[in-house]
Structure 1
């Protein structure tokens, strides 16, 4: 589908701040968070439409992207524009009703991604940093709608994990496209497998270390440290998919298709909720 509902799983990060802030037992807060999830998902879908329209010719040469509605001709560009504008107006209107701060975050997200589609995705290193920023803004959204503070630890962990996923995606694209990579995504000519592996190694170490330090300082008893094994296993499992199964091109697909990662995420989430509810 043109809306790419599988990629909406990225917007589950909206729930992170309310959960870590122990707002998951507040019906009003969770209702706002659910609304924020769908607003962000629809705004992201509007971005996907813009991207598919701008890249329609390149997508038609791609083995997977050629199947997308606009690239395949199933959905006309005019209809895509109309639908994208409708989604954006609707999501922004609801967001403003929830809180003007959330409205501002969505505007920022859409504007940054317009720049990404038009220019920044062709700028080496900046391209993956913009992707990471999108995840950080999702995290900010959850904090904004329930009116809780967001720690520097949360921002760092989110940014580093997003960089890990973005770099893995670039590595997968180089492996999949081989000699045609520059035709499909110009920025790939500035990357190599060796260079990306070095960056992934740095970001992996930083992510695990940052999350470990966060849990160690999360309270007098630091029960959150019990969740560290889930984070380590999840990252290592993803690296296994990247290096041994030629995966990593689609984080949302890995989450939904790989039972190990899905179970790890579920266990991590319930562990955090349990610790926040009964032990802290």
Structure 2
């Protein structure tokens, strides 16, 4: 019996640890790959020292964003329990207690903050600024129409700027504009998918959805989608890189169209990270875009 209790306790500890890690939503960490933009587009991809610094920055932003998700799940505990998918999250399902989640958050946040400031003071300030902005989003900004999607876009810009600042390089304003527009594109599609679920009978879990209409979101998506393609095209036309960068425009257009196709036919707009991780044509398109950019920037 004693041995059974020991085995059971070990299983519970492992389950609790797995739940805590899951609460940080590792699938969402793909968004932090944006920190590598400054490294790639500044022609420093083969600089070993800068690669290590960017990887460290990427890991720390994963920790910062993970801390935000923990707080967000604690705040939205009751709402998540009413959601068909979010109710399976560790805190909402009871796999992880609120107390354990908050203690884990404090540990990760303190260690990550100290490491970020030790790596670079300005980078640490941006990391802390990102955390505070996302915390404001969780408490208030996500309930304010239009500001909710603009805050998400600001979070992506902070990632891009932090990656460039960490290694001491400049990043094109056009690329930052592309980042803003593309993140708003994803956020608006997420809102549209959430509204579709409510229209199909699901109980509303976001009060902000009352302030949006399908027509309004469609109008904004038309503007953002066309502006994204135009901003990226202008970047390839006006940047100091090879004129052959224009050859990467079709990959961007296909990626945007493919994402829209998936959202409209498979109702996956509520989880953009799953689309980026599971749709093979989109993954191949992104890889081809990255390979093309590297080939043009470094070998032409």
Question: Normalised by the size of structure 1, how large is the TM-score?
Answer: 0.97
Indicate yes or no: 2:75 matched with 1:54. yes
| Offset at residue 221 of structure 1 (A) | 4.4
Matches within 5 A, 1:95-174: 95-174=116-195
Q: Cα offset for 1:202?
A: 0.6
* Distance in 1 of aligned mates of 2:200 and 2:47: 53
**Runs ≥4 in structure 1, deviation > 4 angstroms?**
179-182
Alpha-carbon RMSD across the aligned residues, in angstroms, is 1.3
Q: Report the TM-score when normalising by structure 2.
A: 0.90
Partner of 1:74, secondary structure, is coil
What is the CA distance between 1:173 and its match in structure 2? 0.8
Runs of 5+ consecutive residues of structure 2 not aligned to the other structure: 1-21
Equivalent pairs, count:
279
1:87 positional shift: 1.3
Higher Cα Rg: structure 1 or 2? 2
Other-structure match for 2:284: 263
Note if contact 1:182-1:189 (Cα within 8 Å) is conserved in structure 2: no
CA distance in 2, matches of 1:277, 1:179: 50
Q: What are the Cα deviations for residues 150-203 of structure 1, in whole angstroms up to 9, with x where unaligned?
A: 221121010000000000110111112327677400100111222111111110
Residue pair 2:242, 2:297 contacting (<8 A) in 1 also: no
Question: Structure 2 CA distance, aligned partners of 1:227 and 1:27?
Answer: 26
Cα 1:243–1:105 shift into 2, 3 Å:
same
Task: Map 1:15-26 to 2 at 5 A.
Answer: 15-26=36-47
Change (3 A) 1:220 1:241: closer
Specify the alignment match of 2:35 in structure 1: 14
Cα contact 1:181–1:188 (8 A) shared by 2: no
Counterparts of 1:34-45 in structure 2, within 5 Å, are: 34-45=55-66
1:14 touches 1:33 (CA, 8 Å); kept in 2? yes
The answer (yes or no) to whether the contact 2:41–2:171 under 8 Å persists in 1 is: no
